[in-house]
Amino acid sequence: MSGDICVIVPTIREYECMRAYFDNARKYGFDLDRLHVLLVTEDFCDTEAMRSMLADEGVSGEVFDGSRREQWYGDRGVSEYAHVVPAASHAETSFGLLYMWDGDFDYGLFIDDDTLPHEDYDFFGAHMANLAFEGEVESVASDENWVNVLYQNFDEHGLYPRGYPYSAMDETVETGTVGVARGEVVASQGLWTNVPDLDAVRILMDGDLQGQARTRTGAEDYAEDFVAECGNYLTVCSMNLAFRREVIPAFYQCPMDENPWDVGRFDDIWSGVFLKRACDVLGKRIYNGAPLCEHNKAPRSTFDDLNNEVPGLELNEHLWRVVDGVEPRSTDGSSGQRPRDDAGAEADSYAAVFDAMAAALADGDWDEYANGEFFNYVGEYMGDWLDCLDALDGLDGRSRAPAAADD
């Protein structure tokens, strides 16, 4: 193993796309020795061909199918937590986060296998520059406390991305500038051209039955890089995303697809809500914009995606409100009602904020929502996620949020 950047790629078919990313690094002089590529795949895939591709490119990396993941858990004595990463789901990116936590990496980078880098951007270099950013950047807020990452040319395309709450549409957007200190940026979300990342309902209104939106995005739709203001949420898509290792405790990719309610398609969306809440509490930032990637979504049934999304659509309208109302607990387990603007004063870690969100979901009564018990389920898995990280490499000063007392 080498390098300080773990590149996590969930893939079952288009792993060859990574050659274009390596070519991009060579074009811009980015040191490929900094990269360690983790291909997360399945037992039915040609893992040997994947390893050969990495060897041919001269890039450090490993390939993990389901069997090898089971062995990895066993070798580290964490088999009891293997359930936190669902099988045959995009949320298997969580395995990459566990792998990073167990390893010696400073940064992680998610890349989806249906993307390509834009020739005009130093893909890896731009992400690293974003994470090191200091200076002034555009800040965005709305009267609905949500920022549409496609806001800059909205009057032309009218798009809202996958995961954006329907109740937050028709927002009034406010922009300004904010100063960012070095070290404040903990995640860099690169946006996308070509096929927009929409949910199935929106695709049915602006697309076809093969998952393809009619309206496409281009580089002209992203004039400025930006951050969402404190108290404002945004969709975080893991197809093109770099982050610091420190955020992993609050960046769990939720257990989708393999659950009793068949909820799917919200793994990275909900993890982004958790991360944004933690960033607001701890005074950190998610940087959005460049480097762009080209999203070449393969045709697939729009109705399959719809069936995966419908069980969680109502919950997605409410998750951020539950999270936003959580009062973070400091590592000594204390809590108290505080104004939101002062919420970061006593919370001192991503794990502490995540603990509080986990407890709120796990212990809440969500019967009023369709499939509300899935919130309890997610909250329990969030707690198991922290337990697993603790078992692998510890969580400094961690004190689990206490469960609610039985009446």
Q: pTM to 2 decimals?
A: 0.92
Q: How many domains does the chain have?
A: 1
pLDDT tens track of the chain, all 407 residues? 568 999 999 999 899 999 999 999 999 999 999 999 999 999 999 999 999 999 999 999 999 999 999 999 999 999 999 999 998 899 999 999 999 999 999 999 999 999 999 999 999 999 999 999 999 999 999 999 999 999 999 999 999 999 999 999 999 999 999 999 999 999 999 999 999 999 999 999 988 999 999 999 999 999 999 999 999 999 999 999 999 999 999 999 999 998 999 999 999 999 999 999 999 999 999 999 999 999 999 999 999 999 999 999 999 999 999 999 875 544 444 433 333 333 333 568 999 999 999 999 999 999 999 999 999 999 999 999 999 999 998 886 555 544 433 33
Q: Residue 143 corresponds to which amino acid?
A: D
Please count the other Cβ atoms lying within 10 Å of the Cβ belonging to residue 271.
22
Structure tokens at 140: 């965005």
307 lies in a domain? yes
DSSP, collapsed to helix, strand or coil, labels residue 47 as: helix
**3-state SS of the chain: helix, strand, coil percent to 5?**
40, 20, 40
| Alpha helices (H) in 122-219, listed in sequence order | 123-131, 154-157, 200-205
pLDDT at residue 1, as a whole number: 53
402 lies in a domain? no
Surface-to-core class of residue 89, CB atoms within 10 Å of its CB (0-12 exposed, 13-18 middle, 19+ buried): buried
343, 238, 252: which is closest to 295 by C-alpha? Answer: 238
407 lies in a domain? no
Q: Cβ(137)–Cβ(290) under 8 Å?
A: no
Gap between the Cα atoms of 25 and 33, Å rounded? 11
pLDDT at residue 339, as a whole number: 33
Q: Cβ(323)–Cβ(273) under 8 Å?
A: yes
403 lies in a domain? no
Q: What is the per-residue DSSP string for 214-245?
A: SS-B-GGG--S-EEEPTT-EE---TTEEEEEG
Q: Residue 265 corresponds to which amino acid?
A: R
399 lies in a domain? no
pLDDT at residue 174, as a whole number: 98
pLDDT at residue 332, as a whole number: 44
Surface-to-core class of residue 49, CB atoms within 10 Å of its CB (0-12 exposed, 13-18 middle, 19+ buried): exposed
Structural domain including 138 reads 5-393
89 lies in a domain? yes
